[in-house]
Structures are given as C-alpha cells and as structure tokens.
Amino acid sequence: MASQTIYQFNHQTQFYRGKVRDVYTINDKLLVMVASNRISAFDVVLPKPIPFKGQVLNQLAAHFLEATRDIVPNWLMASPFPNISVGQRCEPFKIEMVVRGYLAGHAARTYAAGLRTLCGVTLPEGLKENDKLPSPIITPTTKASEGHDEDISREAIIAQGIVSEPHYKELERITLALYARGQEMANAMGLILVDTKYEFGLHNGTITLMDEIHTPDSSRYFYKEGYETRQQNNEEQKQLSKEFVRKWLIANDFQGKEGQTIPEMDEHWITEISNRYIELYEKVTGLVFVKEPIDETKIETEINALINTFA
C-alpha cells in the first residue's frame, strides 16, 4: 500500500497533504504527486487505507492524461513509480469543473429534495435518478483548501472574479470536449461515463489540465449493458465508482456532518473496496492490473535524479 512516509526531495520548497495525495513542490516549478491509499468521502478522510488504491488512481490518471493531450495540455511529465507522478506546477483556478450527463449522485439527491436548479442550471421536470440528461451540464464547485467544496454558478464565478469570463468560457469548452472523449473511451469498453470533474490551472499563461482525470475518485461509471432495462424497471444501476462507499456511509448514518461518527470499516469491506478499484481499472483500460509493491528505499534517490533531469 502507499506509504504515509513524508519524503525530502532536492530543491523542495513546499509540501501539502491533501485528502488522498501528498504534493511536493520543487523549485516552485515542478510537482511530485504521491497518490496514497487514503480514501475520502463527503470531504472526510476515512480511517483505514485501501490497498493498491493509489496505484489504481495514478495509473488511470496517466492513461487518460496521455489520451487527451490533443484536447488540452496537461501537467504530467513522468510517472516513475506506480503511485507517483511528476509534472509542471500550475497556478490553479479556484474552482472544479464538474460535468454531468446523467442525474446521479449529488445532483440526484438535490433533485429528490425538490430543487430544480443546480449551480444556476435548470433541470427539467419528470426525471428520475440515473436518467440521462437532455445534454451534459456543468455544475462547478469552489475548490476549498479545507472542509467542503461548495456549489457555485457560472454567473457567480465571473461576478466574483474567481475566474475571468474569457477563461471561464474556454474552461467550459475544454470541459465538454474532455467529457465527450471520456464518454467515447468508456463506451468502447462497455461503460458509461456518468459524471466527472476536472481541475485546471495556468502554466506560462496557457490553460493546463491538472490532477487526475476519469478515475473512480473523480468520476462515476455505469455498465452500459442493461442500463436501459434497469432504468425502465426502476432498478439500481450497476456502477463502478466511489458512490458505493458513499451509500454505505449514508446507510451507516454518516455524511460528514458535525457530530456524526465514521462507521468502522472491517477487513472484508476494505478488501471489497480495493477489488472494486482494481475492477474499474481493468474494465476502463482493458489492461490487466499488476499489483506493484512500492520500494520505499528507491523513491527519494530516483525522484531526485528525475528532478535533476527536468531542472
């Protein structure tokens, strides 16, 4: 599993521990991103790690970043270890671009509560959970350094000066193009990319795709076969995503709210989560997942050598 080790790299200027990733800034120009086995839900890190989750996330992200370079430049330069990537540091936009093609997850819960507007986007009447939307919608969130991200509208983003209008329009265009590519790749593997999120920044003045894309932590997938039948029969969709973790937490009275206690995760449940992450990797890529133990003794030496190459 990914270690909780904090490394010391040459020319390191910053260190940040996120919910699931440890990020090292090198010379204020490069990032070394370590995908841990931590798992979060409702913006809370759960107590126990998930074996091989970091490797799944890192390798899936690299797979999709390489497959979308023709749409938008991205931050990734190398992935020298199964759970570690190195790339360009960008000045991030303070929003996440969430795109939805189906009424699922947070959008479905909002809709079930009787609301018909989400992030300034009006949703049609008569939808049920997991229905396909008339066309994909973008429902941005603020990007909180701590605590919960918050829904925000396009209009508020521009009015508050969080992102300029020209940049935001370009982010919308890129977001929809990336989502279309993700749907195309998912469909080829018998899956539906239901919704996902993207994070962008500026690198030398150019909009650049950051972080992971199309992974189970940032995306939701349904199985394509049987989707229509399950919808017609009001059955739950068969899916590959982190939503099953959220539903388990909800069933155990936890949604990250004050005063709630995180339920105990036994070894059987942890193994089940790990297996589902691996299943998603294999189903999405068509590749066999090879469990690669991390040799901690080599990381600092080899990453430092790579840093010297990029410097």
CATH number at residue 270: 3.30.200.20
Least Cα distance to 104 among 226, 241, 5, 204 occurs for 241
Are 119 and 140 a contacting pair, CB within 8 Å? Answer: yes
In a domain, 2, yes or no: no
Beta-bridged to residue 102, according to DSSP, are 132
What integer pLDDT is reported at residue 3 of this predicted model?
46
307: left (phi over 0), alpha (psi -120 to 50) or beta: alpha
Are 265 and 48 a contacting pair, CB within 8 Å? Answer: yes
What integer pLDDT is reported at residue 147 of this predicted model?
55
Q: Is 94 helix (H, G, I), strand (E, B) or coil?
A: coil
Summarize pLDDT for 10-44 with one digit per residue, the tens: 999 999 998 889 999 999 999 999 999 999 888 88
Report which DSSP code applies to 20.
S
In a domain, 4, yes or no: no
In a domain, 152, yes or no: yes
CATH classification of the domain holding 181:
3.30.470.20
Same domain (yes/no): 201, 99? yes
Same domain (yes/no): 154, 223? yes
Final residue belonging to a domain, choices 211, 243, 275: 243
Residues of the chain with pLDDT > 90, as a percent, come to 80
Find the largest Cα–Cα distance for the chain: 58
What integer pLDDT is reported at residue 146 of this predicted model?
57
Are 55 and 83 a contacting pair, CB within 8 Å? Answer: yes
Taking each helix axis from N to C terminus, what angle separates 165-188 and 53-67, rounded to the nearest 10 degrees?
110
The answer on pLDDT for 145 being more than 70 is: no
241 band by pLDDT with thresholds 50, 70 and 90: confident
Same domain (yes/no): 47, 114? no
**Enclosing domain of residue 192:** 92-243
Same domain (yes/no): 198, 301? no
In a domain, 63, yes or no: yes
What integer pLDDT is reported at residue 2 of this predicted model?
40
Same domain (yes/no): 236, 101? yes
| pTM of the full structure | 0.87
Summarize pLDDT for 122-131 with one digit per residue, the tens: 999 999 999 9
What integer pLDDT is reported at residue 240 of this predicted model?
79
Same domain (yes/no): 116, 67? no
Same domain (yes/no): 109, 238? yes
Torsion of CA 92, 96, 101, 107, to 10 degrees: 180
Are 185 and 60 a contacting pair, CB within 8 Å? Answer: no
Same domain (yes/no): 139, 183? yes
Average pLDDT over residues 84-93: 96
